[in-house]
Amino acid sequence: MKIAVLSGKGGTGKTLVSVNLAAVSPESVYIDCDVEEPNGYLFFKPQDIKNKRVTVKLPQADSKLCNGCRTCVNFCKFNALAYIKNNLIVFNEICHSCGGCLLFCPQKAISEKDREIGMIQRGISGNVRVVTGMLNIGEASGVPVIEKLLQDSRKENKDVFIDCPPGSACMVMESIKDADYCILVAEPTIFGVHNLEMVYELVNLFQKPFGVVLNKCLEGENPAEDYCLQNEIKILNKIPFDLELGTMNSNGQIAVRKHPKYRDLFQNLLQAVRKEARHETASDS
Amino acid sequence: MKIAIPVDDNSMDTSVCISFGRAPYFLLYDTETEENNFLNNSAAASQGGAGIKAAQNIVDSGAEAIITPRCGENAAEVLKVAEIALYKNTNNSIRDNIEALKEGKLNLLDDIHPGFHQHGGS
C-alpha cells in the first residue's frame, strides 16, 4: 500500500507523520519527495548509503547536419530553442526534456546529452528503507527526481510512505499520482484551514481516497476540525500540541522509537489508515 | 538601420511597452526610408520562454538595434549572439526615442534582469 502525506504549507507535520508511520510499521519504505529540502533522513540517520545521480536529457544539434529548417524551434512549446546565425541555442533551464525536437528533426541532426539535476540516496534504518530525493540548488523543477523516486517504488510490496513537498503544485501532483491513500495534515488555525482546502481540492481532483490528521491540537477551538466536520471529511487522528513531542522532533528523534505513548498514537493512526484504505478498495470493487 | 521597439499598440501614436517579451507588438522602423511596420508579437501569449521567442522574431525581422525599457537574461543572450544592440528608452514616446537614437543620445541598456518567469511583473 502506498500512502502519501501532504499539506498546504511547510511545517505542518508531514515529516513527523510519515517518518513515525514508517517507523511504526513492521517493514516499510519511506520516500522523501520533498526534494527541494528533504529532511526525513535527519530522523532516520540511515546506514549503508548508496547514491545515484538523476539526469535529464538535453538536446544538442550537430551543426554539420542541421540545415536551419527550424522545425525544432517552432515545435518547442516552451521556447527553449532559438536559431541564430546558423546555430541552434538551447536554454537548459527552460527545456522540459520532452524529446520532441529530436523526434521531429527532418535532418536527424539532434542528439541528446545528460545533465545532472540531483540525486537519490538510499539507506537502511532498522525496519525502514529510507529513500531520499535531492534536487540540486538552482534547478527549476524537481519533477524528474520525483518521477525516478516513484518509478523504483512501483515494485514494492511493503508499505510505502511518501513524504510530499508542501503545497499543491506539480511536484505534489507527481508525488501522489500512484498513491493508494492520502493523509492530509492540518493545523488548528484559520490559516491551517486555508492550507487544508488547497490539498483537499487536489485529492478530490485526483479522486484519491483520503483522511485528515489534525496536528498540534489544543483544548478549545479547532477551525480545521470544524472544517472537516462541515465537509464530512474523515478525521483519522488528532496529535496533541505537546512540548515533549516537539522537543524530540526538533532534536531529530523518532518519537515512536523513543516513547510507548507515541508508539500507541501512531500505531492507532496506521490502523485507521489501513482500515480506511481497505474500505475504499472494497467499495471501489 | 532597422530598429525594433516593443509597443502597446500597432500605431505610431502608441507608447513604448514596459515589457519586452510580452509586448503586444514590435514597431520595426527603418531610419533611412522612414518606413514603419508593426510586428505582431506571437511570443506574448507563450506560457514560458516569451523573451526567447520574441528575440528570435526580432532577429528574423532583420532589425539591427532595439530600444526597450528592459530585457530579460534569456532574450539578451539570443540578441547578443545575433549582435543586436540594445538601447534604453528615455521616455514613452516612440518618435522621441527614434530621434534620440538618431542623434546618438540613447544609452546602451546594461541592467539585464533575471527574467520574471511567470512570477508577476510583465
B55 in A contact zone (CB under 8 Å): yes
**Cα–Cα nearest to A90, from A114, A60, A117, A111:** A60
Pairing of strands A128-135, A159-163: unpaired
Beta bridge partners of A120: A52, A133
Rounded to 10 deg, the angle between the A190-205 and A223-230 helix axes is 40
CATH classification at residue A85 = 3.30.70.20
Is residue A167 located within the same domain as residue A34? yes
Q: What is the pLDDT of residue B122?
A: 40
From chain A, pick out residues whose CB is under 8 angstroms from the CB of B82.
84-85
Percentage above 70 pLDDT, chain A: 98
Please list every residue in chain B whose beta carbon sits closer than 8 Å to the beta carbon of residue A91.
49, 52, 74, 77
pTM for the full predicted model: 0.82
B7 lies in some domain = yes
Mean per-residue pLDDT, A54-73 = 95
CATH number for the domain that contains residue A175: 3.40.50.300
Confidence of residue A140 (pLDDT cuts 50, 70, 90): confident
Rounded to 5 degrees, what are φ and ψ at A121? -110, 130
- The residue among A40, A75, A108 that closes a domain is A108
Residues A89 and A151 in one domain: no
Q: What share of chain B is helix, strand, coil (3-state, %, to 5)?
A: 25, 25, 50
- B89 in any annotated domain: yes
For residue A113, what pLDDT is reported?
96
A225 shares its domain with A89? no
User: Are residues A124 and A227 both part of a single domain?
Assistant: yes
* B25 belongs to a structural domain: yes
Cα A220 from Cα A225, distance rounded (Å): 11
The number of folded domains in chain B is 1
C-alpha cell recorded at residue A12: 505542518
Output the domain CATH number for residue B26.
Answer: 3.30.420.130
- Residue A251's domain spans which residues? 2-54+117-284
Q: Tell me the percentage of chain A whose pLDDT exceeds 90.
A: 92
Chain A hits for B43, CB-CB cut-off 8 Å, are 79
Number of domains making up chain A: 2
For range B63-79, the mean pLDDT = 95
A137 and A175 together in one domain: yes
* pLDDT tens digits, A235-260: 999 999 999 999 999 999 999 999 99
* C-alpha distance from A90 to closest chain B C-alpha (Å): 10
Residue pair A41/A123 in contact (Cβ under 8 Å)? The answer is yes
User: B44 lies in a domain?
Assistant: yes
CA A40 to chain centre: 12
What is the per-residue pLDDT for B120?
A: 47
Cβ–Cβ gap B56/A82 under 8 Å: yes
What pLDDT was estimated at residue A118?
A: 97
Q: Which residue has the cell 536554454?
A: A91
Mutate: best of B47, B56, B59, B64, partner A, most A CBs <10 A: B56
Same domain, A230 and A186: yes
Rounded CA-CA distance A118/A43 in Å is 21
Which residue in A78, A83, A84 is closest to B48 by CB distance?
A78
Residue B51 banded pLDDT, cuts 50, 70, 90: very high
Question: In the predicted model, what is the mean pLDDT of chain A?
Answer: 94
A197 and A279 together in one domain: yes
C-alpha cell at A52: 545515484
Complex prediction ipTM: 0.88
Tens digit of each residue's pLDDT (9 = 90 or more) over A182-218: 999 999 999 999 999 999 999 999 999 999 999 999 9
- Confidence class for position A224, pLDDT limits 50, 70, 90: very high
User: Are residues A14 and A132 located together in one domain of the fold?
Assistant: yes
Per-residue model confidence (pLDDT) at position A255: 96
B59 contacts A91? CB cut-off 8 A = no
Average pLDDT of chain B is 92
B53 has a chain A CB within 8 A of its CB: yes
Is residue A108 scored above 50 in pLDDT? yes
How far apart, in whole angstroms, are the C-alpha atoms of residue A102 and residue A109? 8
B68 falls within a domain: yes
| C-beta of residue B46 within 8 angstroms of C-beta of residue A79 | yes
The domain containing residue B102 runs over which residues?
2-113
Q: A95 and A152 in one domain? A: no
* Average of per-residue pLDDT across B86-106: 93
* Residue A189 shares a structural domain with residue A78: no
Does residue A72 share a domain with residue A159? no
Q: pLDDT band for A284, please (50, 70, 90 cuts).
A: low
Q: Does B58 touch chain A (CB under 8 A)?
A: no
> What confidence score (pLDDT) does residue A95 get?
92
Q: What is the pLDDT of residue A29?
A: 97
Counting one residue from chain A and one from chain B, the pairs whose CB atoms sit within 8 A come to 42
B117 has a pLDDT exceeding 80: no
The answer to whether residue B37 sits within a structural domain is yes
Q: Angle between the B50-61 and B73-81 helix axes, to the nearest 10 degrees?
A: 30
Say if B121 falls within a structural domain.
no
> Is the residue at B120 inside a domain?
no
Check residue A153 and give its pLDDT. 84
pLDDT of residue B121: 44
